[in-house]
Amino acid sequence: MDRTLFTPPMIETFRACRRAYQLAYVELRERKEPANSICKRFILRALAEINRGRLTTVSQVQKYMGQTWPVEKLGPDEAVKAFLFAYKTLTNSVISRYKPDQSRVVGVSLRVRARIPHERVYLEDTFDLILWYPEERRLEFVDFHLHPLKPFNPVWPPATVLVKQFLAERLRCRWPFEKLSMTFCRIGPRGFNPVSISLDEAVYRLHWPELTKTIAEMNEPAQYPPHRDTQCSRCQLLEQAAPAGLVGEAQPLWRTA
């Protein structure tokens, strides 16, 4: 594993369970990819085509799914439910696309990487959608999720938010924003539910040193033994079926809609 490049899911997994981090990102053992992950990746890829303006009608979505649906990767018991979930989600997304007034789409599925100052470590994240508001000089990052969003206290932001704030500076030369907002948007067959936040600069400065300390610990080679006293659901999930890098996706998407 490249120990100089880290992403928000890696950091979140390390903070939650170091053994799970080792199983998912260090050992990288071969595992069968579950239908959940296949369906999720397909939906996000198709959603990027919608946000680029390449898919604008329901008939185009139908044609796209007919040509690219990964039927060979899904078992017969899962294929129908997964297909219906993806179809309803995408048709709803193309009809009621997330694009607020006065916004311009300036980035879709954009991967951004930046080096931490004075460290030989890089952080990387992919922004599903980036919107620019010229009149407000505001930049908005939009992340699309298919599972219910986990609430968090803005005073104690997760690694995902801190990393996005850090990478935003990498984009300031392209879009000289004065305000930055982050929108976490859950999408599904019933529409989308956006939740927007703006991270306070003082909160960011307070928690950033703690994040860099965590990354330094991740960069040190170590072996984390299995749990002895308690059973960790993350470790159990990874031991059984989850692929490398995908933690906590046992619940089928079509049951959470």
Whether 72 and 123 map to the same domain: the answer is no
Domain check: are 118 and 210 in the same one?
Answer: yes
Q: Tell me: the pLDDT tens digits for 185-228?
A: 999 998 888 999 999 999 999 999 999 999 999 988 777 777 66
Same-domain status, 237 and 174: no
The per-residue pLDDT for range 43-60, each reduced to its tens digit, is: 999 999 999 999 999 999
Q: Is there a domain that residue 63 lies in? A: yes
Do 60 and 155 belong together in one domain?
Answer: no
Q: Do 212 and 108 share a domain, yes or no?
A: yes
Q: Judge whether 60 lies within some domain.
A: yes
Q: How many domains does the chain have?
A: 2
Question: Model confidence over 87-107: pLDDT tens digits?
Answer: 999 999 999 999 999 999 999
17 is a domain residue: no
pLDDT value, residue 244: 41
| In-domain check, residue 8 | no
Q: Is 236 in the same domain as 178?
A: no
Residue 246: pLDDT band with limits 50, 70, 90: very low
Q: Is 13 a member of any domain?
A: no
SS3 content of the chain, % helix, strand, coil (to 5): 45, 20, 35
Range of the domain at 235: 27-97+231-255
**Distance from C-alpha of 27 to C-alpha of 244, rounded to nearest angstrom:** 9
Q: Give the model's pLDDT for residue 34.
A: 75
Q: Is residue 9 part of a domain?
A: no
